[in-house]
């Protein structure tokens, strides 16, 4: 059972962070450029085929294995990729951390609990965890959609995090770059921070009364 609702005029005692677009720079175009370079197919056509198909959502819920997803996406794009070519392209999206991220996470972790909730998949998770190991170590826990079997903005993904924290939702700041994810968090009583510029995260948390 969760604690009773807290007052919004108090500083948050925990923060939940998205990763891509908030902590980690993501350049989706990189995967299509990689596959285009191998096959000669136009990157724009490949991007349209994959994004319109939407099977990546199933992959992010862990409902498809990497091999199943590889076969499916290769068919959707109409190109012949072996698994390693597919994997390299699929993971060619990470573009470093946003400036000041490690300092922000370090400062926050000294005064509140911080965890992450991210829509991701088995192949991407295997890349960003070691690639940004130092920053990831600042989080008390990292919840991934493919391990939870649910992705934002599906309520069960938020409930898993709130159950782990054991905090009243009003004590939890939820930081994400997608409005639909923020709206879902706020419907559950969390305090949303919609990220338009990652450099503004510190200021936004301070406005909630946190000492950071």
Catalytic center residues: 18
Pick from 192, 204, 199, 198: which is nearest to 16 by CA? 192
Look at phi and psi of residue 10 and say left if phi exceeds 0, alpha if psi is from -120 to 50, else beta: beta
The helix/strand count (H/E) of the chain reads as 12, 7
Q: Residue for token digits 């409902």? A: 63
Q: What is the distance between the alpha carbons of residues 32 and 66, in angstroms, rounded to a whole number?
A: 18
Q: Are 199 and 41 in contact (CB under 8 A)?
A: no
Distance CA 46, CA 158 (A): 32
Distance between CA 13 and CA 28 in Å, rounded?
33
Hey, what are 204's tokens? 């936004």
Mark 153-176 as b/e (b = at least 16 C-beta within 10 Å). bbeebbebbbebbebbbbbbbbbb
């Amino acid at each position: 059972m969760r604690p009773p609702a807290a007052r919004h005029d108090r500083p948050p005692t925990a923060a939940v962070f998205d990763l891509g677009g908030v902590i980690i720079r993501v350049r989706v175009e990189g995967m299509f450029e990689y596959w285009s370079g191998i096959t000669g197919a136009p990157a724009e056509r490949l991007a349209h085929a994959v994004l319109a198909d939407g099977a990546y959502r199933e992959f992010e819920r862990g409902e498809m294995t990497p091999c199943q997803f590889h076969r499916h996406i290769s068919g959707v794009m109409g190109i012949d990729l072996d698994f390693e070519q597919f994997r390299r392209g699929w993971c060619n999206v990470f573009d470093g951390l946003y400036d000041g991220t490690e300092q922000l996470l370090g400062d926050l972790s000294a005064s509140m609990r911080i965890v992450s909730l991210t829509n991701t998949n088995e192949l991407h998770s295997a890349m960003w965890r070691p690639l940004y190991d130092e920053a990831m170590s600042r989080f008390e826990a990292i919840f991934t959609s493919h391990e939870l079997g649910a992705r934002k903005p599906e309520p069960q993904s938020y409930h898993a995090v709130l159950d782990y924290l054991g905090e009243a939702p009003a004590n939890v700041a939820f930081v994400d770059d997608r409005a639909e994810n923020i709206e879902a968090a706020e419907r559950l009583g969390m305090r949303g921070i919609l990220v338009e510029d990652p450099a503004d995260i510190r200021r936004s948390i301070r406005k909630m009364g946190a000492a950071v």
